[in-house]
Amino acid sequence: MIPGAFDYHRPSSLADAVKLMGSLGDDATILAGGHSLIPMMKLRMATPEHLVDLGGLGELRRIEVNGSAVSIGAMVTQAQVIASTPLAAAVPILMETSTQIADPQVRNLGTIGGNVANGDPGNDMPAVMQALDATYVLSGPNGAREVKAREFYSGSYATARAPGEILSAIRIIAPPAGHGYTYEKQKRKIGDYATAAAAVILTMSGGRCTAASIALTNVGETALWAREAGAALVGTPVDDQAIKAAVAAAKAIATPSADGRGPIDFRLQVTGVMVRRAIEKARSRAR
């Protein structure tokens, strides 16, 4: 189908973009990579009167790694995430996750900010950001404010972003050197959303887990941070008993719906399998 009529705006700076969003109000919609928005516009599920394209904002295409402090501009593409050696060294789970998003054509245009900002429970990065305890920078008419990824999502396509605000950057404190990590995703085919997926970050010392964080994709109305699942690993050697407890805790908060990816019981089973695989791989990578 053909989208409805709209006015197109391409600001040259973040300040101009924020000003535009403030003046245009609820009739304006932000365009990042466009992979979520454009199909919805073609189906007339989204009918913005004004489209504010952030593609010209070079200031939002920067990746900065200073020690453990990592800052990623919202318009950084998935392909840039994959290609960044400093980012891969500091937060390797980001590169691993980006390689599992859709296909190279999509990754060359799709942005990390777009992936986390719209509240789609099927997107991959929101769970990873929650596992990393990332912080989102929201730029608006009253300046910039920060919101934790774990507090950003309130429902399907519902977030803490206020009208007129633009998610401009993501800030992460990199996990310690030698941490274990992985993003395990089961999907029907290339380009599909996950049937279920799990992000795991953990650290080991003296043969025991000293910190663990687990998050889930596409098994609820939002990405889910599985606090109790991570806690089940801490203080243990991450043996089978601990992993079983973590899997049970993760499945306990999952509320998948029946859809083309399978019935509820199947998707819950896949959730458990992904969590187990992710924990085992993260443990094998931890030093």
Residues 66-107 have pLDDT tens digits of 999 999 999 999 999 999 999 999 999 999 999 999 999 999
AA identity, residue 48: P
pLDDT band at 212 (very low <50, low <70, confident <90, very high): very high
**Mean pLDDT (the chain, rounded):** 96
d(CA 215, CA 58): 31
CB 209 within 8 A of CB 280: no
d(CA 55, CA 110): 11
pLDDT band at 203 (very low <50, low <70, confident <90, very high): very high
Interval 219-235: pLDDT, tens: 999 999 999 999 999 99
Question: Is domain 180-285 classified as CATH 3.30.390.50?
Answer: yes
Question: Is domain 7-53 classified as CATH 3.30.43.10?
Answer: yes
Question: Is domain 58-173 classified as CATH 3.30.465.10?
Answer: yes
Q: What is the mean pLDDT of residues 247-255?
A: 98
d(CA 200, CA 133): 12
Q: Where are the domains of the chain?
A: 7-53, 58-173, 180-285
Token code pair at residue 14: 């973040």
Question: What is the pTM (predicted TM-score) of this model?
Answer: 0.96
Buried b (16+ CB within 10 A) or exposed e, 231-241: ebbbebebeee
pLDDT band at 4 (very low <50, low <70, confident <90, very high): confident
Token code pair at residue 70: 């990592």
Q: Which position has the token pair 């990746």?
A: 63
Token code pair at residue 140: 């608006």
Interval 122-141: pLDDT, tens: 999 999 999 999 999 999 99
Is residue 1 pLDDT above 80, yes or no?
A: no
Closest CA to 275 of 207, 190, 174, 194: 194
